Structure 1
Amino acid sequence: MKREVIGDAVLYLADCREVLPTLQRVAAVIVDPPYGIGDTDARARATKWQRAAGMEAREWDREPVSELAEVLALGDVQVVWGGNYYPLKPSRGWLTWFKPDAPPSMASLELAWTNLDRNARQFSWSIGATNAERVGHPTQKPLALMRWCQEQAGNPASVLDAYMGSGTTGVAAVMAGASFIGIEREPAYFDIACRRIEQAQRQAALFAHDAPAAMEQAGLGF
């Protein structure tokens, strides 16, 4: 296990099952866990942008995770991207990401289960608009999507992502002024997440009076 503290973010290079028993509750758990849909044909079916970003057979995505209930128990608000692949409680507060430019080989939208008792909401964001921020994770979510997701969760003061990947949820948390706990077991993705979150912390410090608006206006990317 490796632990890095970057401003208000605490990042663990570990299997989340090792870390979960040591954590306190947070305002929101926002996760995008493996769904169990990885296959050896992933690269063949990928778009040119996905191949450039490192799309390959997802050995880490062979089966759904088994500890999701333990992860969700740590958050008052719970958001699970790919929640339609898990046996979660009925909910009317689903979030969706609509991809207007999705090719035939990809889904036109992705679903996030929440424990929120409210109307479902949809966010439209093209795949092409995300290309400039890709850092090499094959299932990287757009930063704009994860910022919207946290807004839908009520702008929580603290966020846990137990399947951090390249750190997009953490960057969104930093931009919103929230504390963040991230866990990732793949060293390459962990290092990317550390760099992105450290950059976000530095840029947030430069725009401390109104970090999200100022950073957006300046066109600072992640």
Structure 2
Amino acid sequence: MKKNNNVFPKDLTNTIHLGDAIDTLKTLPDNSVDMIFADPPYNMQIEGTLKRTDGTNFDGIEGNKWDEFDSLQHYREFTYAWLKEAKRVLKKDVSSLWVIGSFQNIYVVGSILQDLGYWLINDIVWSKTNPTPNFMGTKFTNRQETLLWATPAKNTKYKFNYKTMKALNGGKQMTSVWDIPVSSGRERIKDDNGNKLHPTQKPEKLLYNVIVSSSSEGDLILDPFMGSGTTGAMAKRLGRNFFGIERDEHYRDFALKRISSEITIQDDFTKATFDIKPPRVRFWDLIEANYISKDELIYFKKSDKVAKISTKKELEFDGEHYGISKLGGILEGKSTNANGWIVWFVKRDNKYVSLDEIRRKYRQKELGFYGK
């Protein structure tokens, strides 16, 4: 029976429910989930057995009942049903959904997302740096999968830790193409016989990017097709909560064991410190708190252009009174304001100190803010 209190049940938080995705989604309360990551069946339509060039069999997804559908229409109906329930459980004010697929299914998924009123934000290309070769040599080697990122409605806001992802990308704006290898080595989950547990296990780095970019510590992340448990493992590692649904008991048990061994970490990326908006500080706050003396001279870009503290606004220059940004723009010869915090300096012990640096110290000592 569906719960309707808009609060995700505590007894389900950080668990994996054994059951059907659609049936289980129907029991969850409306408007209760911060983010969904879904890796649904791809409807791969593979017939027969794939063979490597040396004649040995390739262990793909063939024979897995969860990826078999009677027809494309059947797959459409399945996709519509789970996306409809996903839309219902996502929070209406701030939330988002990620769904991954390949060329066999992503166009169906995207079409249904729009039919249901989701609002598409981005499509992300997962570019595999170590793709499986095309053994038959009948077409191009497929090295990418696509992630669609959307909100449940046009007016629903979403979290995007832009500055955090930029910092993660070496100071460069992160693009919509992610070069990430397929899970291998120690990361690849093996069963009791030493064989790979799940044929479509997603790499941890992929989920790291998804979770860090679009959620906050403590958020509830739902995965309706939990598989080997990568979403749950990364959610726990990154300080988020999770709820998973998995129909295969074998996968569910291995996923729970995997997640139980995870240790939560905290750093600037998990906390999205780079995206925390610093508290506003006025120029006169620094003066009133004695971080800048009323008698100090203020230097424009470490030059001989010098202003005094104004008794009417912020700075006095050539007998006129200005704000630090307005005067900075004028001295730069622009018709717009400059960033007054970075163009003005004080001189202490024969060294120039920017107003921005003084403001940073004020935020730390007076406001307890240590963000980026």
TM-score band (shorter)? Answer: 0.7 to 0.9
What SS is found at the alignment partner of 1:138?
coil
Partners of 1:91 and 1:121 lie apart in 2 by 14
Identify which of 186, 189, 197 aligns with 1:132: 186
Of Structure 1 and Structure 2, the greater helix share is in 1
> What TM-score, normalized to structure 2?
0.47
Alpha-carbon distance between aligned partners in 2 of 1:120 and 1:71, rounded to the nearest angstrom: 27
Closer, same or farther in 2 for the Cα pair 1:107/1:46, shift >3 Å? farther
| Distance change (3 Å), C-alpha of 1:85 and 1:138 | farther
Partner of 1:217: none
Aligned equivalent of 2:20: 15
Q: Deviation of residue 15 (structure 1)?
A: 0.7
Aligned counterpart, 1:91: 120
The answer on whether the counterparts of 2:12 and 2:243 sit within 8 Å (CA) in structure 1 is no
Distance 1:140 1:32, change over 3 A: same
**Residues 22, 55 of structure 1: alpha-carbon distance in 2 compared, 3 angstrom cutoff:** closer
Structure-1 separation of matches of 2:64 and 2:121: 31
* Displacement after TM superposition at 1:103 (Å): 3.5
Please state if 1:110 is matched with 2:125.
no
Amino acid at match of 2:143: S
Structure 1 pair 36/132, CA: closer, same or farther in 2 (3 Å)? same
User: Which of 19-28 and 168-177 deviates more?
Assistant: 19-28
Task: Identify the residue that residue 150 of structure 1 maps to in structure 2.
Answer: 211
User: 4+ runs of 1 displaced by more than 4 Å?
Assistant: 5-8, 45-48, 116-120, 209-213
Q: 1:93, 1:152 → 2: CA distance?
A: 12
Distance 1:211 1:41, change over 3 A: farther
Alignment match of 1:191 (pick from 248, 253, 269): 253
For 2:176, give the aligned amino acid. Answer: R
Deviations 1:179-212 (A, max 9, x none): 1000000111111111111111xx23xx6x6598
RMSD: 3.4
Counterpart of 2:100 in structure 1: which amino acid?
W
Structure 1 residues 39 and 175: CA distance shift in structure 2, 3 A: same
AA in 1 matched with 2:38: V
* Paired residues of 1:175 and 1:211 also in contact (CA < 8 A): no
Is the 2:35–2:215 Cα contact (8 Å) retained in structure 1? no
- How many Å separate the matches in 1 of 2:268 and 2:187? 19
For residue 196 of structure 1, give the secondary structure of its aligned residue in structure 2. helix
Determine if contact 1:40/1:58 at 8 Å carries over to the other structure: no
Question: Greater shift after overlay, 36-45 or 135-144?
Answer: 36-45
Give the CA deviation at 1:158: 1.0
Kept in 2, the 8 Å contact 1:84–1:112? The answer is no
Match 2:96 to one of 59, 63, 77 = 77
Aligned-residue offset at 1:170? 0.7
- The verdict on how the C-alpha distance between 1:34 and 1:109 changes in structure 2, with shifts beyond 3 A counting, is same
Deviation at 1:120, TM superposition (A): 6.2
Q: How many residues align?
A: 201
Contact 2:34 2:215 in 1 (8 A): no
Could you say which residue in structure 2 is the equivalent of 1:168?
230
Q: Structure 1: any 5+ residue segments left out of the alignment? A: 214-222
1:219 aligned partner: none
Q: What is the correspondence of 1:31-42 to structure 2 with a 5 Å cutoff?
A: 31-41=38-48
Match of 1:60 in 2: 66
**One-letter amino acid of the structure 1 residue matched with residue 97 of structure 2:** Q
Contact preservation (8 Å) 1:28, 1:160: yes
Give the Cα–Cα distance (whole angstroms) in 2 for the partners of residues 212 and 46 of structure 1: 43
Q: Larger Cα Rg: Structure 1 or Structure 2?
A: 2
Matched AA of 2:19: A
CA contact (8 A) 1:171 1:196 kept: yes
1:28 aligns with 2:38: no
What is the TM-score when the length of structure 1 is the normalising length?
A: 0.76
In structure 2, C-alpha distance between the alignment counterparts of 1:198 and 1:6, rounded to whole Å = 17
Seen in structure 2, the aligned counterparts of structure 1 residues 6 and 20 have a Cα distance that, compared at 3 Å, is closer
Query: 1:132: how far off?
Result: 2.4
Cα drift, residue 37 of structure 1: 1.0
Distance 1:211 1:186 in 2: 36
- Indicate the SS of the match to 1:111: strand
Opposite residue 59 of structure 1, the aligned amino acid is K
Identity %: 28
